[in-house]
Chain A
Amino acid sequence: MLNASLKELSKQLAEKKLSSVELTSFFLQRIKTLNPDYNAFITINEEMSLAQAINADKMLAVGEGGPLTGIPIAQKDIFCAKGWLTTCGSKMLSNFISPYDAGVIERFNLAGAVNIGKTNMDEFAMGSSNETSYYGIVKNPWDTKAVPGGSSGGAACAVAARLAPAATGTDTGGSIRQPAALCGISGIKPTYGLVSRYGMIAFASSLDQAGPMAKSAEDLALLLNVMVGFDARDSTSLQRAQEDYTSSLERPLSGLRIGLPKEYFAKGMSQDVENAIDKALAEYRKLGAETVEVVLPNAPLSIPVYYVLAPAEASSNLSRFDGVRYGYRAESYSGLADMYRKSRAEGFGPEVKRRILIGTYVLSHGYYDAYYIKAQKLRRLIAQDFAEAYRQCDVIMGPTTPTVAFNLGEKSADPIQMYLSDIYTSAANLTGMPAMSIPIGFGEKNRPVGLHIIGNYFKETQLLNIANQYQRVTDWHLKSAV
């Protein structure tokens, strides 16, 4: 059960060799034993998980199961799940029992999947190391002195430590792909608009996108089949024909043109990461792909542009936390405005406050054009670079992160160094393009390295095909941290 693929687990469930209650109990027991070491989960609710497992077994008994029926999934604590404590990693929501289900949770429930628990994360998804969580740091299962990445650090840790067969994450600037890379697992951020944002606590609405995190590309494809779909309650949800993301997993790669951006290979990447990338690219050439150099001249602007747009949207989204309708309210205050000020000062952690202040400033009178509008213009330039690059290649590859996982505490006092962890990933959020990370080996201190694969809009099926072909001939994705 520990290392089985979702397909294998699904087969055993369908053939009644295993029940969902057995599978769920197995992972609940692992979480109970090992979570104190890793802190990957904020909330476990055995009773609710097992109730779902019993229901799944009933579906399976009458042959009504689908590929994910009865499979335990770790849900990032950013997704509202009815009856579950949903904290978003913040003290602000430390008492928030969600009265409703997010679109993503609804879809997993309909598929008969089991919510095995809510995973730890950077507060309001703002962070690249999981160190901003109010619920404590998460450790990297490959090396407990290292960060797991963030913001979906609990999710990445849960899969890498085999506390759950698969997990969900969200990605605003790299929050699925960066922790996936640092924890040696696979993760994909789909095209913006494919997965519903309804009930997914908002950070930066024009960049936020949910996606799956799992051991392999094949698992990701099965999860995406459940997660993707139109939702009228999300105003930017896209109406498209449903795709089967597993449909092209086996297609050979001969003739594939891989673009290697000059800027991503120029400087900043550490030697151990570069070595692993070179080997992975050599493997792709053996699989019949060719590599071509492309240019993304405005790529270095991704981080400054991101740190204008994301905080601006966050400052607006997080204004809803005022201590009136839900969430934290300060103990003592002198009047309404004082209640707002104290509740927000006490309920938000330092990184969240920092980003609210940046956002408030760039949206304030006199600065809006110089920062916010300017950043939106550069966002278009970055998107145009990618459109131009895709004339010469089918997909773009490079490192997911400049280095392997850094040590806990190493960057927590220096916001800018932390922000630069997302140097390669944030462009896919700014442009809205799909991108994924897969494990391709190990660097310094035996810590995992991820390969970043960026595709054009709606090319998820192709990305999963490209990742799966690599995973057919290599075994990095099968290596376990535990």
Chain B
Amino acid sequence: MNLSLNDVKRIADLAYIEIDENQAEATLAQLSSIFNMIETMQSVDASAIEPMSHSQSVSQRLREDIVTESDQRALFQSIAPQVQEGLYLVPQVIE
């Protein structure tokens, strides 16, 4: 497969990582060689195989719908970049 410069910019955009022209070009070269290595996967026919997402096939545990967490808002917000009156501050998104 051939990765283009536009692909790199598109995935950086999807991943919310700022990337400039020079970085995009360097990244393109690296990702292309990594994907060439990954392509060796396509040499094996696995169409009849079930995908394996986890090594142990266990089902999701359920629990009673009761409150288990105590309020630690002040503690958790003490390490936030910017808070005000118990709220996390971000740049304005609504005019």
Interface string of A89-114 (1 = CB under 8 A from B): 00000011101000000000000000
The listed residue (A325, A360, A431) touching B76 by CB distance below 8 A is A325
**Residue from A99, A304, A358 with most neighbouring chain B CB atoms (10 Å):** A304
Q: Does A142 contact B (CB under 8 A)?
A: no
The smallest C-beta distance from A353 to any residue of chain B, in angstroms, reads: 6
Chain A, 278-328, CB within 8 A of any chain B CB: 298, 300-301, 303-305, 307-308, 315, 319, 322-328
Q: Are A374 and B79 interface neighbours, CB within 8 A? A: no
Q: Does B2 contact A (CB under 8 A)?
A: no
CA A232 – CA B31 in complex, angstroms? 38
The listed residue (A238, A308, A344, A430) touching B17 by CB distance below 8 A is A344
Total A residues in contact with B, Cβ cutoff 8 Å: 71
Residues on A with beta carbons closer than 8 Å to the beta carbon of B90: 324, 336, 339
**Interface range on chain B: under 10, 10 to 19, 20 to 34, or 35 or more?**
35 or more
Q: Are B81 and A99 interface neighbours, CB within 8 A? A: no
Q: Are B41 and A374 interface neighbours, CB within 8 A? A: yes
The smallest C-beta distance from A319 to any residue of chain B, in angstroms, reads: 8
Q: Does A206 contact B (CB under 8 A)?
A: yes
Q: Does A383 contact B (CB under 8 A)?
A: yes
The listed residue (A192, A319, A333, A356) touching B91 by CB distance below 8 A is A333
Interface string of B61-95 (1 = CB under 8 A from A): 10100000000100110111110000010111100
Q: Are B49 and A308 interface neighbours, CB within 8 A? A: no
With A339-B90, A378-B46 known to touch, is A354 a contact of B18 (CB < 8 Å)? no
With A206-B54, A304-B38, A307-B37 known to touch, is A381 a contact of B18 (CB < 8 Å)? no
Closest chain B residue to A93 by CB distance?
A: B79
Residues on A with beta carbons closer than 8 Å to the beta carbon of B79: 95-97, 99, 326
With A304-B38, A333-B91, A378-B41 known to touch, is A357 a contact of B8 (CB < 8 Å)? yes
Q: Are A335 and B91 interface neighbours, CB within 8 A? A: yes
**Residue from A325, A333, A334 with most neighbouring chain B CB atoms (10 Å):** A325
Q: Does B22 contact A (CB under 8 A)?
A: no
Q: Are B17 and A378 interface neighbours, CB within 8 A? A: no
Q: Does A379 contact B (CB under 8 A)?
A: yes
The listed residue (B15, B39, B76) touching A356 by CB distance below 8 A is B15
Residues on B with beta carbons closer than 8 Å to the beta carbon of A361: 3, 7, 11, 31
With A308-B38, A339-B90, A344-B17 known to touch, is A354 a contact of B27 (CB < 8 Å)? yes
Q: Are A360 and B14 interface neighbours, CB within 8 A? A: yes
Chain A, 61-100, CB within 8 A of any chain B CB: 95-97, 99
Q: Are A378 and B18 interface neighbours, CB within 8 A? A: no
23 A-B pairs in the complex with CB atoms less than 8 angstroms apart = A99-B72, A99-B75, A192-B54, A192-B56, A232-B63, A236-B56, A301-B44, A303-B37, A304-B39, A325-B76, A338-B91, A340-B16, A341-B17, A345-B19, A357-B12, A374-B46, A375-B41, A378-B49, A379-B51, A380-B49, A380-B50, A380-B52, A415-B34
